[in-house]
Amino acid sequence: MALPKLDTPTYELILPSTNKPISYRPFLVKEHKILLTLTDANEEEVSRVVRELVDVCTFNKLQVNKLPHFDVEYIFLHLRAKSISEIVEVIVNCECGNKIDATYNIENVSIEKEPDHSNIIKLTDMYSIEMNYPVFDDVVNVIGDGSTDDIIELIANSIKGVYSNDEYYEAQDQTKNELREFVESFTKSQFEKIEKFFTTSPKVVQTIEADCNECGKHNVTKLTGLQNFFV
């Protein structure tokens, strides 16, 4: 007689980019084993495994490759909370030099965005650029290397279109090389405007508070992205 199939619990969360509910399940043991291998993995492997886990645990109903990076991070952290533990242990470094043992609850993670953030960026009096939020792969590549080529690639891949006074140029109608050349033609001030789009865009944030037992300082630390979660 075949062994019975166990029921896996399902949960619901609100996807940050759409404010719509999605369903997900925890990691299975075989999936958790894969996750444990990521401690020393390269950026490409981390990206692939995170995307695959998010995809399978959301029942393959999301186009994970097209989701903004903060959606993927947000889902993954909730998967981690339901699959392993919602509590994570960390060490907070106080400015006095003392190291403080602290914990935080992953389920308290939030999405933060600067109030003046916009995905429409005015380059000149005639031209403005419309941006998409970068996908998870592109962000991981920049974090891992941070080379100028990777940053230009990230910007080029994130362009949705370009407005002129009387026309709109769809990025999907351009070649990758054309988009790269367009980005490389920016002046320093124009590039800084694009940079501001990325630095003020929505990000996954976990706030950790801990009191130092040596100097009494109340420390507030913010983690962004997926730091310290591959445990």
Q: How many CB atoms lie within 10 A of CB 71?
A: 24
If you ran DSSP here, which 8-state letter would residue 119 be given?
S
Q: How many CB atoms lie within 10 A of CB 215?
A: 12
User: What burial letters (b/e) apply to 7-41, b meaning 16+ CB within 10 Å?
Assistant: eeeeeebebbeeeeebebbbbeeebeeebeebeee
Cα separation of 14 and 112, whole Å? 15
pLDDT in tens, 112-139: 988 889 999 999 999 999 999 999 888 8
The low-confidence residues of the chain, meaning pLDDT below 50, are 228-231
Domain ranges of the chain: 1-107+203-231, 120-200
pTM of the model: 0.86
With the C-alpha atoms ordered 91, 94, 99, 103, is the resulting torsion angle positive or negative? Answer: negative
pLDDT in tens, 144-180: 666 788 889 999 999 999 999 889 999 999 999 999 9
Measured in degrees and rounded to the nearest 5, phi and psi for residue 22 equal: -130, 155
